[in-house]
Amino acid sequence: MDSTRASAIRLLTSSRSMILPGPGRALKPAPMWRSYIVSFAGARPRALIGPRRPRCNSKSGRYQMLTRRQMIATASTFAGYAVAVDKVLAQAIKTDTEGIVAGDQVVKIGTYEMPVYEARPAAGKDTPIVLVISEIWGVHEYIRDCTRRFAKAGYYAVAPELFKREGGVAQIANVQDILKIVLAQKREQTLSDLKAAVDWAKTRPNVKAAGVGVTGWCWGGSTVYQVAATNHDMKGAVAWYGPPARPYQGASGPVTGFDLARDIHCPFLGLYGETDQNPKPEDARRMEELLKQSNKHVEVVIYPGAGHGFHADYRPSYNAAAAQDAWKRCTDFFAKNLRA
């Protein structure tokens, strides 16, 4: 563990318990996580933010006491989120729209309008659906580009902006403020919004409603476990370095990927890095063992020399060899399980 990450976790876990968003307590200041997360997270890459517009404040959340073990898991997860995001590299892949249709749409959920980014082949029918879940940065250009890549591979891909209910993160430069919004996410609401995105996708032109898969990176990778365990429309799930120990705050308490492994019955592919500190390789192997107790279609790949964010081509953490192999495995996996 590097010294910056270790220092952040020591600061965040210096008492037996701390207050983080979740049901059970009224909103009040939580100086530890507000003050110290930013000390190791750094600033969000400016090139991902776009032109400045008036920032929306996050809605008032609620708080719940976490145990020391849960704090360590949460702090380590956020340390992983913030690794090497100081600049956008010239190596970032740019996927054009030739042969595909891509753009912003809105999914209506009652009176709420959830922004989504969709991409699909310009021609063809019975196109399988891929639900794309972002990291904590929301649906920024990297996620949009990955969505277009899926369309180029013959899938209808949709990426919902899950943080919009709390004001959104698109125009926020301060990681501390972004994490407040991420921590305010309620498990049941997030899963409901993701289901709404899938249900909406099934109404789009030329899709195969029976062929739905889910994928996500980092925070989105952790969310993949939650979706795969609860939405039985899924015919395949691909998690990219999602920490299975990351607790999601639900109505009945925190729920991790480890907790849900026995409920994931669709084919599963996990893509992890050998030098990643969260999830560590032993976490990936533990998740694999738990999954295989009730699922015969599980594959976990740990890439030698690759760290957290190895697929994020806009970051110094990018590992081209691992990223290219993992992308091929991902699209081959979806071809096998969503087109059948």
| Catalytic residue positions, numbered | 218, 276, 308
Reduce the DSSP state of residue 302 to 3 states and report it: strand
Listed in sequence order, the residues at least 6 apart from 48 whose beta carbon sits closer than 8 Å to its beta carbon are 88, 137, 140, 141, 142, 314
| Contact predicate 142/312, CB 8 Å | yes
Q: How far apart are CA 229 and CA 263, in angstroms?
A: 5
Alpha helices in 55-186 (DSSP H): 68-81, 141-152, 175-183
C-alpha 250/C-alpha 229 separation (Å) is 14
> What are the two backbone dihedrals, phi and then psi, of residue 249, each rounded to the nearest 5 degrees?
-80, 115
| Location of structure tokens 């081209």 | 320
DSSP state of 96: -
Residues 248, 224: contact at Cβ < 8 Å?
no
Helix, strand, coil percentages for the chain (3-state, nearest 5) = 35, 25, 40
57 Cβ contact list (under 8 Å, min separation 6): 167
Instruction: Return the amino acid letter for 321.
Output: A
**3-state per-residue secondary structure call for 5-49:** HHHHHHHHCCCCCEEEEEEEECCCCCHHHHHHHHHHHCECCHHHC
Please, are residues 241 and 309 in contact by the beta-carbon 8 Å criterion?
yes
Selection from 258, 236, 232, 239 nearest residue 247 by Cα? 258
Q: CA 11, CA 232: separation in Å to the nearest integer?
A: 40
